[in-house]
Amino acid sequence: MHGHVQTTQRRRLLLAALGLVSSCLATAGGAATRRPTPAQSRGPFYPDQLPLDQDNDLTRLSPARAATSASAKGVLTDLTGRVLAADGTALPDALVEIWQCDAHGRYLHTRDRGGRPRDPGFQGYGKARTAADGGYRFRTIKPVPYPGRAPHIHVAVTAADGRQLVTQLYVEGAPENARDFLRKRLSPAQRKLVTVPFRPSGDDAGSLRARFDMVLG
């Protein structure tokens, strides 16, 4: 009887150990199979003439290059995130570019000839390099609807090893999302990866914050 109890206890310990190993492997496997951020069109309005001011703050131009001293119109937003490999490791020194229309729905592009006035205080395009942890940061505005499109920000990433990703970031809860023809081409799971909440930052300026992590396959 005593031997039977010991055997049962050993069997339980063995099963528990196997369960722990399986759990660790599943966790490791989950990191290794991190879903890549889906690619989307670069669109027709990547700037055909890059602005002289190309830093990571799109809301204020340097005094020497500004046509106005006013900051950009729109809801100020801190956009942050990390650029990662599929196994979850950080990708430092990756070039991250963003471009979007201003608060009036105008892009920094000569072919965007809509009747809406262009905001002279909005940079329209910016770039940054990722830090050692893959992190990046931009100061921009909450995207607004563009004729026929949901609010979005274009994002392009070029990793130090040459891998590239071009995608678009969407605003969680925007009513135009369901009608956007490019967003509808993505599967529901893919849409989740490129749709992020814009939440109050808690500062006195009433600005927002958004986080967009990207995974390069």
CA dist 7 → 1, 12, 16, 26, 119 (Å): 10, 9, 14, 28, 77
CA distance 135 to 102: 25
Strands 164-171 and 195-196: parallel
Record the pTM: 0.82
CA distance 144 to 73: 11
Model confidence pLDDT, tens digit, residues 38-66: 999 999 999 998 888 899 999 998 765 55
pLDDT at 23 (0 to 100):
39
Return the number of other C-beta atoms located less than 10 Å from residue 127's C-beta.
Answer: 17
Is the per-residue pLDDT at 30 higher than 80?
no
Model confidence pLDDT, tens digit, residues 114-154: 778 999 999 999 999 999 999 999 999 999 998 899 999 99
For the ranges 29-43, 78-92, 127-141, 166-180, the lowest mean pLDDT is seen at 29-43
Percent of the chain at pLDDT > 90 equals 69
* Mean pLDDT estimate for the chain: 86
Return the number of other C-beta atoms located less than 10 Å from residue 51's C-beta.
Answer: 17
Residue with tokens 């990722």: 130
CA distance 145 to 91: 31
Percent of the chain at pLDDT > 70 equals 82
pLDDT at 48 (0 to 100):
92
CA distance 178 to 83: 27
Split at pLDDT 50, 70, 90, the class of 171 is: very high
Q: What is the DSSP letter of 204?
A: T
Split at pLDDT 50, 70, 90, the class of 19 is: very low
Split at pLDDT 50, 70, 90, the class of 17 is: very low
Burial class (CB in 10 A: 0-12, 13-18, 19+), 92: middle
Q: Across residues 25-40, what is the average pLDDT?
A: 67
Model confidence pLDDT, tens digit, residues 149-168: 999 999 999 999 999 999 99
Residue with tokens 């809406």: 116
Higher pLDDT, 65 or 92: 92
